Structures are given as structure tokens and as C-alpha cells.
Chain A
Amino acid sequence: DTGVSQNPRHKITKRGQNVTFRCDPISEHNRLYWYRQTLGQGPEFLTYFQNEAQLEKSRLLSDRFSAERPKGSFSTLEIQRTEQGDSAMYLCASSPTPETQYFGPGTRLLVL
């Protein structure tokens, strides 16, 4: 499978716990994006990497969220001290150019 992969696919956690998600982009894509999608809404941009550099971050993103892409390949998104409002689908996308973004299957997070 040569598409974007994300792990885990589902995560259930208790409020206050930390969670970490992983995204493996398409191998030749140097651009990587994280989005969050809640029910009935379109995806909402969180952050963008070009290679290992984090070049854009949403102003709406809480400081409990942090993302890394240490070697310019896979990326991780960590949420600290989770809240019920963090329950959502977390989507990763990658692209070879700024224009076309290809999404992975997503990680569905439920915070109890």
C-alpha cells in the first residue's frame, strides 16, 4: 500500500491522559499536514511540515497540541491532558507540491 498511513486507527482515552498519533506519508512527498474533523464539519487545519520544518501552525491550536517530524519522514501528533472537546477524527495528508493533498485514513479519538 503506497498511500498515507496512520496509526492507531482508533483511540479511546480518559480525560487528562496524553495521546500520540503517527502518520507515515507517501514516500516521495516532502509536505505533510495535520487536520482535525468533527462530525458535520469539514477538516480544520492544524499544522504543516515541509521536510522536518514546521512551517505553519493554526492560531486556534491549543498549546496542549504538539507535532514533530524529526527526520522529514513520519510525523507524530501529541495531545497532552486530553479534554472531551478533543474527540474528533485526526487526519494526516501529504503532497509532493503545495497544491494537491492526499489524506490518510485518519485516527478517530474518543475522550471519555
Chain B
Amino acid sequence: QKEVEQNSGPLSVPEGAIASLNCTYSDRVSQSFFWYRQYSGKSPELIMSIYSNGDKEDGRFTAQLNKASQYVSLLIRDSQPSDSATYLCAVRSVAGSYQLTFGKGTKLSVIP
């Protein structure tokens, strides 16, 4: 059973702070890792993908991957109230399988 675990939150941070979102996965052969943002009542929106160990930066977002620890994280710098949403971690496990396995998501609230 492939599992993706996230702290459901809510995670509250003040405006301008760094928000840190964490995700662990159970399947060691996982290859591709994604972060989606989902506003209430809306569908998931892809914000970051990462495939190799280390950091990947895109604007205010940084994804971090550590395959040895089976851990992936998302940092949001200079958090804004508009970043308030649920952040979903998704993993694609094996070559030839195209499904994504999602965590339950972490709800982030950025307090003005």
C-alpha cells in the first residue's frame, strides 16, 4: 500500500513569514514528486514538481527532496494571505504507472 503522509494542519503563519510544509512517502521506488495548491471548493493547481535530491526554487516556492529519508517539503517565502489554501503532496511511484498518489493535504492559513 503506497502511502503519502502530510500533517493536516491547520498551519498558521503570519504574513511575510516562511511557511514550511512537509510530506513523507512509503514507496522507496517513487520517482516524481509534486505539490498542488487547492483553494476551498476549487480543483488542485500544480505549483511545483521535483525529481532529484536537493532543492528546486520557483519564485517564492522552494521544493526540497530527500529520497534517502523519503521526505519532500515545500517552503513558501514571504507568505501572503492569498497563499491560504490546502497544499497537496503527490507522488508517482513506478515507471509505467501514471497515477499520482496524494496525501490528505495540509491547510495553510496566512494571517495578515
Contact = CB atoms under 8 A, between A and B. Distances in A.
Contact of A45 (B32, B36, B49, B99): B99
Contacts, number: 56
Given A42-B104, A98-B92, A99-B92, A105 B99 contact: no
B98 A100 contact: no
Tell me which of A31, A42, A89 has the highest count of chain B C-beta atoms within 10 A of its own C-beta: A42
How many B residues touch the partner, as a band? 20 to 34
Contact of B102 (A44, A48, A102): A44
B111 interface: no
Contacts of A101: 34, 46, 100
A105 B98 contact: no
Nearest to A105: B43
Contacts of A85: none
Interface string B1-41: 00010001000000000000000000000001010100000
Interface string A65-79: 000000000000000
B92 A56 contact: no
A33 interface: yes
B101 A99 contact: no
A101 B49 CA distance: 10
A25 interface: no
Contacts of A56: 97-99
A55 B99 CA distance: 11
Contacts of B44: 43, 91, 103
Interface of A: 31, 33, 35, 40-45, 48, 50, 55-56, 58, 89, 91, 98-106
